[in-house]
């Protein structure tokens, strides 16, 4: 998987994009080299994974790393988004995001078809956001940015919050 604009090439370790703790039977990750051109750009805009990737990598000091068999996005090494591509048989394509206290519960209660408590990290307040179907990309982008700010180390020019 080549991360566009970063000059970085991520190689799958075990044919599933990385080490999966319990040798999950899921098929190999999407991947391969991205193609340039108008047709490639139109396809990239329609692919939800590419849209999440573009949203995440547009934020300052971010990088993409395959972990647990899925793409993750980090700010200065700190995880702020993880893809859930039907992992371990889930019925959805989603992104998991850390959220401020109370946000997970409020989102899941307001729209349980779109938001859920993800396994492993849900207990720590992360929220799962479905990106299959017809998500509100404006809302997805706002939630990704909120997760980024929640996790990003405080610097002179940027406050956490």
pLDDT in tens, 55-112: 999 999 999 999 888 899 999 999 999 999 886 777 889 999 999 999 999 999 999 9
Supply 60's token pair. 């300052």
Counted residue by residue, the chain has a size of 161
Distance between CA 1 and CA 96 in Å, rounded?
20
| Helix or strand (DSSP H, E) at 78 | strand 78-85
pTM over 0.75, yes/no: no
Cα distances (Å, whole numbers) of residue 123 to 32, 94, 107: 34, 17, 15
Pairing between strand 93-97 and 115-116?
Answer: unpaired
């Amino acid at each position: 998987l080549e991360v566009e604009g970063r000059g970085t090439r991520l190689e799958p370790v075990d044919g599933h994009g990385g080490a999966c703790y319990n040798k999950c039977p899921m098929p190999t990750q999407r991947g391969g080299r991205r193609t340039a051109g108008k047709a490639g750009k139109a396809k990239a805009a329609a692919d939800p994974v590419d849209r999440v990737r573009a949203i995440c990598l547009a934020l300052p000091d971010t990088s993409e790393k395959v972990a647990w068999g899925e793409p993750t996005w980090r700010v200065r090494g700190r995880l702020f988004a993880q893809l859930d591509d039907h992992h371990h048989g889930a019925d959805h394509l989603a992104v998991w995001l850390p959220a401020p206290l109370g946000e997970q519960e409020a989102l899941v209660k307001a729209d349980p078809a779109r938001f859920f408590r993800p396994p492993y990290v849900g207990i720590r307040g992360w929220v799962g956001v479905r990106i299959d179907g017809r998500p509100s990309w404006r809302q997805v982008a706002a939630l990704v940015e909120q997760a980024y700010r929640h996790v990003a180390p405080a610097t002179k020019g940027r406050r956490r919050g």
